[in-house]
Structure 1
Amino acid sequence: MPTSIDPASSALADLTTPALVVDGTLLQANIDAMAAVLPGPRLRPHVKAHKTTELARRQYAAGHHGFTCATIREVEGMAAAGLGADLLLANEIVDATRIGAVVERGARVTLAVDSPETIEAAASGGVREVVIDVNVGLPRCGCDVADAGVLADHARSLGLSVRGVMGYEGHLMMVTPYAEKQRRVEKAMRTLLQAHEAVGGELVTAGGTGTYQANAWANEIQAGSYVLMDTQYAGLDTPFVQAFWVLGTVISAHPTHAVADVGLKALGMDHGNPRVEGAEVQFVSDEHITFRPSDPVRVGDRVLVTPAHIDPTIAMHERMHVVRADGGREVWPVDLRGW
């Protein structure tokens, strides 16, 4: 599905670049495509991908009423926006007092824990519900499967309700071919299900955009990037399409290359260089992207730069400019950024 966004359109003419732009039609198509596969509570969208409550409202309208968060700020912002019916902070913290305050104001917040210290922080901070985070192969947070039951017992001894287990097979998101991905996801999830037998609870929560189809063992999936996509996920066979870009302006043009004002301070670069359609990206520096266009460009021309990694890119911008099908534009604050 091609984008309806023309970087030279009058709808974008007044924007100071670099600027985050979104095709509202494609955004909604992605939301609808995921809702058709993982309806209602089968998906717990991860708001770290977009950090925008207005976008989360569209996910809520599609039937996804529980959300995953990565930071305390995201939890606070989602609850303040009236989207706090069932929030999961899928990250360990050692001071849960801000989360406890959100719970006290009426939101439901579940906290991921993987040690006695994080369990005790949850209890002393006023959190009432936790999930036991289990290491399923990605060497990040998560307890050993053998410790999951003991940690659950410790949590319950402190008066916490244990809702189940969480695992993140992030190391498998980009595995190909699909059959190999499915085999390795099954192995990771067998570990998580083993932990669940010892822990109990209603939740087996895992997954992401790269494994949403391959993971048939978790009862809810924490995908986030699917809503807007990036060049890394574009390499997978999914129904989701690129729906956001960073709009730039050509500020220098030469016979061998051109330069636009979209640099490291406007792009997440940990997954490699971004793309510019019809051009070869040569390198990116603080304030510049240098590229070799297939057709000549002039100073003042606008270009769409496709980021390689959605999450850190969006976190660098204060707002996204959403272009509607009628050519109009809405401005949505990226109001969950920061800490």
Structure 2
Amino acid sequence: MRVGDLTTPALLVDAAALEANLADMARALPGQRLRPHVKAHKTTALAARQAAHGHHGFTCATVREVEGMAAAGLGADLLLANEVLDARRLGAVAATGSRVTVAIDSPETLQAAVDGGVPEVLIDVNIGLPRCGIAPGRAGELADRARATGLTVRGVMGYEGHLQLLPDPAERARLTAECTDRLLAAHADVGGDVISGGGTGTAACNTACTEIQAGSYALMDTAYTAAGLPFRQALTVLSTVVSTTAPAGEMPGWAVADAGLKAFGMDHGNPEVPGGTVWFCSDEHLTFAPDAQPVVGDRVRIVPAHIDPTVALHERMHVVDGDEVLDTWAVDLRGW
């Protein structure tokens, strides 16, 4: 199959760029130093490629991701880095022989792990992002309560998500160190072998954690590229030009492609069209001012601003080499 045979909009993954990203990260964070986050791509075939580079522990954001990874034979060490109040589905996965760990930050989530049959937990610590996580000074108390119920407390986790896209590397490193100092203080009270945290944006400067939960590095997006990270843009959204308007007088020309709000995660802003300026997105359309006027039927490869929600909107991704489609992978971890 050729790229031109695909129905648009469609996710394209450049095979060479993906492989380079996986290899570069494996050299920087080999083996257990990286726990890839599958929320970024939601695709077990891509996770298998990460495992082939030596990463056998994975981070998940949903119970569905844990279930799907285990079913795909990738359940050697799965962390649900999220709080849940019903852990029975996680316990069922653990009962089949997969190793499952869940994050807890309260007596309620602790009890959910006990009731659900999940034997291992990490204490989720709030290190600066106002989201989930217990205050660092209370982490030890929660760990003690967890151990008293018979749970194994593997250690701590914390996420400096508010720092991932800071454009100044020095500032990002300084603030990351402040966050990880809070995590280390909590770990001193909690104990365990695991200090888990970080992401693609802080992977290079977060040296305190025993493992980094990076995910976006594999496919990348414009937001992370703007932060100056060294990884290649591997994923684009293939779209077809369905309408054009030529320049008239002082009015510039524009073109309309058939990928809009329902094809892109928009929380980080508009996607980008190489060789053009995006004006706006509608439900099923993207309007852009091209540098060179296209014709109806032309294909354009559009770069998303935020990879995670973009991938989750699509059922499959096509691995390509130039105009040749090498493989098609189901985005099989979608949904809940």
Which residue of 2 is the match for residue 105 of structure 1?
96
Q: C-alpha distance in 2, partners of 1:254/1:325?
A: 29
TM-score, with length taken from structure 2? 0.97
CA offset digits 1:161-209 (Å, max 9, x no partner): 0000000000111223222111111110010000000000000000000
* Distance in structure 1 (CA, Å) of the matches to 2:210 and 2:144: 22
Aligned to 1:273: 270
What letter matches 2:294 in structure 1? V
The answer for unaligned runs of 5 or more in structure 1 is 1-9
Residue pairs, 1:19-30, within 5 angstroms: 19-30=10-21
Matches within 5 A, 1:208-227: 208-227=199-218
* 1:324 and 1:330 in contact (8 A); partners too: no
Q: Secondary structure at the match of 1:276?
A: coil
Structure 2 portions without partners, runs of 5+: 247-252
Q: What TM-score, normalized by structure 1, do the two folds share?
A: 0.96
Change (3 A) 1:283 1:216: same
Q: Distance in 1 between matches of 2:235 and 2:4?
A: 17
RMSD of Structure 2 on Structure 1 (CA): 1.0
User: Separation in 2 of the partners of 1:326 and 1:290?
Assistant: 24
| Residue number among 194, 199, 214 corresponding to 2:190 in the alignment | 199
Whether 1:229 aligns to 2:220 is yes
- Report the Cα offset of residue 89 of structure 1: 0.2
Query: Structure 1 residue 325: deviation in Å?
Result: 6.9
Could you say what secondary structure the match of 2:11 adopts? strand
Return the alpha-carbon distance in structure 1 between the equivalents of residues 128 and 270 of structure 2: 27
User: Is the contact made by 2:166 and 2:227 (CA closer than 8 Å) also made in structure 1?
Assistant: no
Superposed structure 1 runs of 4+ greater than 4 Å apart: none
User: Is 2:4 aligned against 1:16?
Assistant: no
**Aligned-pair CA distance for 1:327:** 3.1
C-alpha separation in 2, matches of 1:225 and 1:22: 13
Residue equivalent to 2:249? none
Q: Could you report, residue by residue, the CA deviation over 1:107-165 in whole angstroms, capped at 9, with x for unpaired residues?
A: 00100000000000001100000000000000000000111011001111111000000
In the aligned structure 2, how far is the partner of 1:98 from the partner of 1:329?
35
Distance 1:291 1:176, change over 3 A: closer
In structure 2, the residue corresponding to 1:240 is in which secondary structure?
Answer: coil
Which of 60, 63, 70 aligns to 2:61? It is: 70
Deviations 1:40-99 (A, max 9, x none): 000000000000000000100000010000000000000000000000000000000000
**Does residue 287 in structure 1 map to residue 287 in structure 2?**
no
Which residue of the partner structure matches residue 4 of structure 1? none
Among 252, 259, 262, the alignment partner of 2:259 is 262
Q: Residue type of the partner of 1:306?
A: V
- The answer to whether the 8 A contact 1:204-1:219 is kept is yes
User: 288, 292, 296: which is aligned to 2:293?
Assistant: 296
- Judged with a 3 Å threshold, the aligned counterparts in structure 2 of structure 1 residues 325 and 202 are, in CA distance, closer, same or farther, namely farther
Measure the CA separation in 2 of the matches of 1:236 and 1:265.
Answer: 26
Is this contact kept in 2: 1:25–1:325, CA < 8 A? no
AA matched with 1:272: G
In structure 1, what residue type is equivalent to 2:90?
Answer: I
The one-letter amino acid paired with 2:315 is E
Distance 1:267 1:326 in 2: 22
- Deviation, 1:326, is 9.1
